[in-house]
Amino acid sequence: MKSNNVNPIPKVKISNLSKIFGDKPQDMLLHVRNGMNKADLLANHGHVLGLQDINVDIQASEITVVMGLSGSGKSTLIRHLNRLIEPTSGEIVIDGKDIMKMSKDDLNLFRQNKMSMVFQNFALFPHRTVLQNIALPLQVRGMVETERDQEAEKWLERVGLSGYGGYYPHQLSGGMQQRVGLARALASNCDIMLMDEAFSALDPLIRTDMQDLLLELQKELHKTIVFITHDLDEALKLSDHLVILNNGAVVQQGEPQSILMNPSDSYIEAFISDINRARVLRVRSVMTALNEGEVYAGDVYVNDNLESLITLSEGDTKHTYRVLDNDVAVGQIDMGTIIRALVPKVSDKNNPIL
């Protein structure tokens, strides 16, 4: 949780990025700048507005989650980061380099060394064994076989698949295949990892497993991860920085807890109205300042969720707890505050998507 830290130089800086699909994207850009919306652009000009004026700063060593419903442009956005899709306008600066200015060879080197990717449908090579799949990024770079196999073996073990190196992808279950996909991305040892709906094709239990695996690996590896999802629970669980897209534009971005507490418009409110707030909200987001002379029923930690507090209180609404951050008291929380925090904020009853 580093987004509260002041970090002036983002790892990846996306500025004014727009993408229009069609024959004459540059001409259409003028219409969009003059305020034409996605539906009108499609109806009157036959062009699809993919992304509109995206500005996102992605900090190093954080998980940035881009969330939106299907068609919101999130997969388009992530493919701009390694230029699998060329933008219509705007720039993307990664580690101080504008990737739009790279030649084809530079771009290939950049993809080999800076950025790896995990795909929704795994996209493993069916004709190569699991080990050969994981070793792929190293092979592309020209590492010799014994060396890259050793390295691949290490990552295979790291994702919990030791002994499966000689199997072919189709012999593994979906969850195992995506572990291979993850190991392949990690083996490249790139700073930045792009994950395009990486866990969306898995069933819920395995998805939770994979999320835990990712968080566990991230504790150790501190990669800069851009994670795409349409699942809000997944987004809230993983994200340090949450970007919500709708119709190709950013609706709100920020620290997930603050988005939950202060949704910027009715779209976000509707979006977050269905989630289990008790499980997602943390003590630090709702705690109040320490009040001298208060009697505490016990100690809780800043990153505990409200659900665990409710369990701790056994339903007694009169308790007040002391909040600790690394054994230093930083605030207090009473059950009344918790109950109030659980009420979703609704500003507009005529919500468009409810």
Least separation in angstroms between residue 125's CB and other proteins is 6
Q: Which is nearer to other proteins, 104 or 349 (CB)?
A: 104
Least separation in angstroms between residue 189's CB and other proteins is 12
Least separation in angstroms between residue 181's CB and other proteins is 9
Least separation in angstroms between residue 66's CB and other proteins is 17
Least separation in angstroms between residue 168's CB and other proteins is 5
Least separation in angstroms between residue 26's CB and other proteins is 23
Which ranges in 82-173 belong to alpha helices (H)?
104-113, 130-134, 136-141, 145-158
Q: Which is nearer to other proteins, 75 or 313 (CB)?
A: 75
Q: Which is nearer to other proteins, 134 or 250 (CB)?
A: 134
- C-alpha 311/C-alpha 314 separation (Å) is 5
- C-alpha 157/C-alpha 150 separation (Å) is 11
The H or E element containing residue 4 is none
Task: Give 243's strand partners.
Answer: 66, 253
Least separation in angstroms between residue 253's CB and other proteins is 25
DSSP of 123-143: ---TTS-HHHHHTHHHHHHT-
Q: Which is nearer to other proteins, 191 or 240 (CB)?
A: 191
Contact set with other proteins (CB under 8 A) = 82, 84, 107-113, 115-117, 119, 121-127, 136-137, 140, 168, 170-171, 188, 194
Which ranges in the chain belong to alpha helices (H)?
25-33, 38-45, 74-81, 104-113, 130-134, 136-141, 145-158, 174-187, 204-221, 232-238, 256-261, 266-272, 277-280, 283-286, 306-313, 335-341
Nearest to 309 by CA among 329, 288, 279: 279
Q: Which is nearer to other proteins, 139 or 351 (CB)?
A: 139
| Structure-token pair, residue 348 | 């507009």
- C-alpha 289/C-alpha 252 separation (Å) is 28
Nearest to 333 by CA among 279, 290, 276, 281: 290
Q: Which is nearer to other proteins, 136 or 206 (CB)?
A: 136
Q: Which is nearer to other proteins, 75 or 257 (CB)?
A: 75
